[in-house]
Amino acid sequence: MGKPHPVEMRERVVAFVEEGNSHRGTAAHFRVSIKFVNDMVKLKRETGGLAPKRQGNSGRGKLSGVADWVRGRVAGKGEVTLDELVVALRQERALTVHRSSVGRLLHRLGLTHKKTAFRGGTGAPGCAPGTASLDWPPPAFHARHAGPAGVCR
């Protein structure tokens, strides 16, 4: 989105129209669109000023009212996925949001997902070394790295 025109230019455009010039002639003179001239005249008539409106998101989104609830949910449950939070928001708060919106909210709240620094090897998650993890032998291209069939490393 571009920047709004300066207030000084807005004032000159409205003053030019108030001197009796047409909107079309004013637009050509100042090299702006006719819509801009119409909008400025209308803004001056309705509000008495020509200050530009605030651009962008006002900071109020669907999730701004549930930030504390999400923070409490994450603190209470510990590990929770974005998809679980999306489902919980839909069921408990009647909010339908995309998982990326929930992810951005968590980032704004400082609640980021960090992987564990040390998992203890390359085996399956939560698998202690020497315990069975596979019901079938590993594929042939993994055989030299996997150790005995059905055992975590």
Let me know: does 121 contact 138? Beta carbons within 8 Å: no
In DSSP terms, which residues pair with 151 in a beta bridge?
A: 132
The predicted pLDDT at position 135 comes to: 47
The predicted pLDDT at position 112 comes to: 72
Task: State the total domains in the chain.
Answer: 3
Residue 52, domain member (yes or no): no
Ordered alpha helix ranges (H), the chain = 7-18, 23-30, 34-47, 67-77, 82-93, 99-108, 143-146
Domain of residue 130, residue span: 121-153
Residue 149, domain member (yes or no): yes
Residue 150, domain member (yes or no): yes
Which residues in the chain land under pLDDT 50? Answer: 133-147, 151, 153
Predicted TM-score (pTM) of this structure: 0.44
Residue 151, domain member (yes or no): yes
150 and 125 belong to one structural domain? yes
The predicted pLDDT at position 56 comes to: 72
